[in-house]
Structure 1
């Protein structure tokens, strides 16, 4: 049995206030490589393998901040705010159909939580093989495009910092990797990752 479990925080749950809470949400970015902002790396050469391992008799839980993985084993409460009822591959990415509880729907609709973070099992070589659960969170780890352009545009790096670093405003690194960090972290990160564009 594979025991490697990874906790990730990738997916923006972006929709206009008053709109219906999304039923289908992206759980993993497009294959083949999944890279966390914290530097961890995994791969998913065949996303259909992840979908094929989905067991509808044992629905993965959606919780708050991975409480089912972190708190429940210690005997602490970890109530579900949703259940992943199906998986699908869309353009190489894994999407999940979520049945939200009333509390989960309220958290997402009120924007108390804006991101969904999957927990997945992987082999020792880093091949993603199964979605274990997911958690609502506000601290994303994976670099994935938001589900709407407005969120992506809001995360553009400060132009003054770009100028000080001698970078162009449309720099891929600074728009995708540094956009949501605090200015002092942006400088340090860009100096490191953009040194050899």
Structure 2
């Protein structure tokens, strides 16, 4: 199977200082990203990159976007969105930088870079929104819909001394 995230860099490598913009896409299955909890079976990652040739390699800058879905870790509601991640990588023919990727046969293989960003940047324990109130620990009601009506949980008597200190504290502190 052809790699849709491979870029021919032969022209760039012949002319240091030259630049090129590329737009690529790939199904996550082609990247061996199979995670039915976070991604639809037909999910596709889109990549927009700016390539700039140096004397000893190529700098790759840009962004990728991938749709994701999940369950809120606080209220268990379905949630999702599009993760946008920045790409900043260096490719070299002779790798001298430990962070660089190798240019093989005048080709930039972006597969590993994109796969890594997708797996690391897409939330594994998402929130439906930053201020999600979660579920009531007593009755299980979704507190985002309003208070549930349960009585306040009794306080542990072992904390009463701290409660008294809190009550005495100056509200300005």
Do both proteins adopt the same fold according to a TM-score greater than 0.5, normalized to the shorter chain? Answer: no
Question: Relative contact order: is structure 1 or structure 2 higher (C-alpha 8 Å, sep ≥ 6)?
Answer: 1
Which structure has more helix as a fraction of its residues? 1
* TM-score, length basis structure 2: 0.27
* TM-score, length basis structure 1: 0.25
